[in-house]
Amino acid sequence: MTKKEFAFPPQEEIEKVIKRFSDPNYRRVNQGLKLNATTEEKIKYELCQNISRNTLENDLAEKELGQKLGIDQIKVEYILFCHINKLTLKELTTYVDELNIPWEIKINHHKKKKVRENLDQYLLDPGVIKDFVQQLERKPLRSEGINKD
């Protein structure tokens, strides 16, 4: 039995793939959620994720998903790869309903922001840092399970 060796693709093939994936109009690349996403964008992203999950769990082909929802392949790719800028909230909620996917929306935006502000203030307070360093200097760190041979 001969061992199959790995052959790296030729440079022109690598360049071709990089070019395709770098094209902003290429639809088959997952889009992540921006750090500064709006509430609407977060909801749309979650709905796309729910549809994608449902598609995988029910072993649906992209073509079957498109037929169930009455949409073309381009729109299917926008959903499955989370191109939320190409989709409206209304159409996504309609698709989720048509697929009978249970969903719920929880918004904790203000609470998280307040906690984050308090935490940042606490962490950046020089007095807190000074107290922490002094506590470390007074108490030796425990070294359980470490052999000192």
Looking at residue 149, its pLDDT comes to 44
Q: List pLDDT tens digits, range 110-128.
A: 555 555 555 555 555 555 5
Using CA atoms, how far apart are residues 44 and 10, in angstroms rounded to an integer?
39
State the pLDDT at residue 132.
Answer: 56
Exposed e or buried b for every residue in 108-143, given b needs 16+ CB within 10 A?
eeeeeeeeeeeeeeeeeeeeeeeeeeeeeeeeeeee
What's the pLDDT score for residue 145? 47
DSSP string, the chain: -PPPPP-PPPHHHHHHHHHHHH-TT--SSPPPPPTT--HHHHHHHHHHHHHHHHHHHTT--HHHHHHHHT--HHHHHHHHTT-GGGS-HHHHHHHHHHTT--------HHHHHHHHHHHHHHHH-HHHHHHHHHHHHHSPPP-TT----
The per-residue pLDDT for 47 is 94
Tokens encoding 93? 């909620």
Class of domain 11-98: mainly alpha
For 30-80, the pLDDT digits (tens) are: 777 888 889 899 999 999 999 999 999 999 999 999 999 999 999 999 999
- Token pair 């381009």: residue: 74
Domain locations in the chain as residue ranges: 11-98, 109-138
Is the model's pLDDT at 129 over the cut of 60? no
Structure tokens at 16: 């071709």
Using one digit for the tens of pLDDT, what is the confidence trace for 5-33? 778 888 888 888 777 767 777 666 677 78
pLDDT at 2: 65
